[in-house]
Chain A
C-alpha cells in the first residue's frame, strides 16, 4: 500500500508540472511554479482547480509587483492607524459563557459536547507528501 501511494504521489506531481510549464503566461511573472502551487494549496487549504486560477494568481502577483517602484527607505511598516494609542485590555474576569449548547447547534457533526473531526494526517498512510489532488477521493 505504501509503495502504491508513493507512485501515485510522483505521478500526479509530474502531471501538474507538465501542465504548468508548457504554457507561458505572457502576463505572468513565471513565479507560480508547481512547487509554489502545491505549497499554497497546503497552506491555504483552497485548491487551484484550473489554469484559470493560476493565471489569476499570476496577474495578482504582477499587479502587486508595482509596489517595487515606491521608495520606502527608512519608512516603518504601518500595522494599524491607531498605533499611537494604547489598546484597551479588559480585566481578566469571566462575565459570560456557559453557552456550549447554543454553540454546538451550528455544527454539523457533534457527539455530546464534542465537535467531530475526521482523522488527522498523522497516520502511517500519509507519511509521503501527497498533493491535494490525491486527497480528493
Chain B
C-alpha cells in the first residue's frame, strides 16, 4: 500500500480498501523503522493519528474532502506549523513553537491531509546536501536499496557497511528521503536555488518548483524573499499536480502571490508531443557534468525527437554568471532576513545580560552555525554603502540579464527547456564534506538556480539508474505561470522512461508492498 501513488491510495481510501488510521499507522511504523535515515526532525504521531481518525469519520459518512483526505504528508521544517516545533534545523529555533500554520500547510490540512512530521534540512535551508543542520545529516534511502547494494558488492568495501552512505542532496533532503522511503505520499520542500529539485534528483523522486508568485510563502521562514517558493516532492508527476492544484492561488497574507484566478485542475494526458519545441541550452553542457548524466540527457532529447517534437539548441549566454549573481543576492537577502533572530521575542537566547548588543551577538553566535554566519557577514559586506552599487545593484542588473535570456528563448517558440538537474548522482557523505558548504552549493546549484532568478517553474523527473544503481534526474523548465503545461510534458516523459521503484525490501512490511504495486490494475481509479 505504501508504494502506491497518491492517486491510487486515495482511490483505495474511497473504496474502503484501507482506512486512514491503518494507513497512518503503517506510515508511522515505517518512519520508526527508517529512523536511521534521519529524515524527520519531529514526528507528530499524536496529531497524525487524530487527523487520521477525523478523516476516517468523514469517509464513513461518505463526505471525504477530496483527493488528499487521509493522505500522509510531511512538511519541511522551515514551514510554520501551529503547535508543532519548527526549528529550521537550527539551534536558534530549537523549541520554537509557532502559533500559526503556514498558508500551504493550512491548505493541505483543510483538505484532510495527515501531517506525519517535520522533515530535516540544511540549517535555514542553506546548503545542497542536507548535511549542515543542527539535527545531523539526512541519509539517502538509496544507500540501502537493493539496486545500490548489489552494485557495491562488486567493489571492495570497508568493514562498516554504513560508512559509505550517500547524501540526499539539499536543502529539502529530509522531505525527499521521506517520500523516497515511502513514509508519506507527498512532502513540502522549499526551493530557493534548487533546494527541491536537487534532492529530488538524488533520491529518485519528482521535485516540482512552481512559478514564483503562484504559491503562497506566508509561513515559510524566508531565506531569499525574491526567489523562495514552496516546492512539492512526490513519487509521481501526477501526484505533484494534485498537490499543486490545492496549493496554488492568491493569498491575501502574501502580497507577492499573483491575483489571477487558479482553478484546481486534473492533469490531462499528453499523447502527441509532435507540436512541442524542446530547447537544449548549450551553456548547460558543463565540463564537470558526468558522462552518465550527459548520456541520459542526450537520450531524453532523442526520445522527444523520435516522437516528432522539435528539439533545438538554444543559448542562455549569462549562465556562467548566474551562480555568482545568486551568491551576492542570496547572501544580501539572508543578511536582512536573519536580522530578526535576536533572541528577544522567540528562539534561542543566551545568558548575557550586560547589554542588548552583547546579548544579540552572543545569541546569534550560539544559535547560528558557521554557514549561516558566513552568509550573513558576506551579505552585510555587499550591502555596505561603499559596496552597494558594485555588488548588490550589479547583481540585480545581472539578474535581469539572466531573466531576459529565458524570456528571449521562450519567445522564440520554445515550449520547454530540458536540462540535467545535477552534475552526477548522489555522492557519499564522506566525499561530500571534503569541500565547504559554499563551494558545494556553487557546484551543485549550477543547473537549478538560474530558474529561481527568473521565477520560472521547473520540475526534476527521475530518469534512470546510474551504473552505480543511483537515481539520475532531468529537469524541465517552463514558461512563467505555465506550470500545468510543464507538468503535462513531464508526465508524458515519466511514462516513457519508467523509472524503477526503489527496492527497499528490508524496510517494507514483509516486502508485500512491492507485489501490491503489480496489482495496480485491480484498483479502479473512478472518482
The residues of A with any CB-CB pair to B shorter than 8 Å are 32, 36, 39-49, 53, 56-57, 59-61, 63-64, 66-70, 72, 75-82, 85, 87-90, 99, 102-103, 105-109, 115, 117-121, 126, 132, 135-137
Contacts and interface: CB of A to CB of B under 8 A. Distances in A.
Contact of B360 (A45, A80, A107): A45
B358 A118 contact: yes
Most A CB contacts (10 A, CB to CB) among B318, B373, B480 go to: B373
A117 to B, nearest CB: 5
B507 interface: no
A137 B354 contact: yes
Contacts of A132: 357, 361
Interface stretch (B7-15, B138-146, B237-245, B376-384): B376-384
Nearest to B373: A46
A90 B252 contact: yes
A48 B438 CA distance: 17
Interface string B73-98: 00000000000000000000000110
23 contacts: A40-B380, A40-B384, A44-B376, A44-B377, A46-B361, A56-B378, A56-B436, A67-B325, A67-B394, A72-B397, A76-B400, A78-B397, A81-B213, A81-B453, A85-B213, A85-B258, A88-B250, A118-B355, A118-B356, A119-B356, A121-B356, A135-B354, A137-B352
Contacts of B400: 75-78
A81 B99 contact: no
B349 A109 contact: yes
Closest 4 pairs between A and B when the two form their complex, measured CB to CB: A81-B455, A77-B396, A78-B400, A72-B397
Nearest to B99: A102
B394 A72 contact: yes
A121 B358 CA distance: 9
B467 to A, nearest CB: 33
B344 interface: yes
B499 to A, nearest CB: 31
B455 A115 contact: no
B365 A49 contact: yes
Contact of A82 (B97, B358, B370, B455): B455
B324 A67 contact: yes
Nearest to A83: B400
Contacts of B342: 45
A78 B403 contact: yes
A59 B184 CA distance: 41
Contacts of B49: none
Contact of A118 (B258, B359, B436): B359
For the side of the interface on B, what is the size category?
35 or more
B304 interface: no
B432 interface: no
B335 A107 contact: no
Contacts of A49: 365
A126 B387 CA distance: 29
- Say whether chain A's binding surface is mostly helix, strand, loop, or mixed: loop
Contacts of A63: 324, 327, 438, 442
B398 A57 contact: no
Contacts of B381: 32, 36, 40, 57, 60-61
Contacts of A32: 381
B354 A53 contact: no
A57 B354 CA distance: 29
Contacts of B512: none
Contact of A61 (B259, B373, B378, B455): B378
Given A78-B403, A107-B344, A64 B361 contact: no
B352 A118 contact: yes
Nearest to A74: B397
A48 B343 contact: no
Contact of B327 (A45, A48, A60, A89): A60
Contacts of A79: 226, 396
Given A57-B378, A72-B394, A103-B345, A45 B364 contact: yes
B455 A121 contact: no
Nearest to A82: B213
A51 to B, nearest CB: 13
A53 B377 contact: yes
A60 B368 contact: no
Given A46-B377, A72-B397, A107-B346, 14 more contacts: A36-B381, A40-B377, A44-B377, A61-B381, A67-B398, A79-B396, A81-B455, A82-B258, A105-B99, A106-B96, A107-B344, A117-B344, A136-B358, A136-B362
B327 to A, nearest CB: 6
A76 B358 contact: no
Contact of B377 (A48, A85, A107, A126): A48
B356 A88 contact: no
B331 A60 contact: yes
B401 interface: yes
B256 A80 contact: yes
Most B CB contacts (10 A, CB to CB) among A56, A59, A76, A119 go to: A56
Interface in B85-132: 96-97, 99
Contact of B396 (A78, A82, A105, A119): A78
Nearest to A102: B99
Nearest to A69: B321
Nearest to B342: A45
A10 B328 CA distance: 34
Contacts of B259: 88
B256 A77 contact: no
Contacts of A70: 318, 321, 394, 397-398, 401
A99 B252 contact: no
B163 interface: no
Given A40-B380, A67-B325, A102-B99, A118 B394 contact: no
B226 to A, nearest CB: 5
Contact of B328 (A41, A64, A78): A64
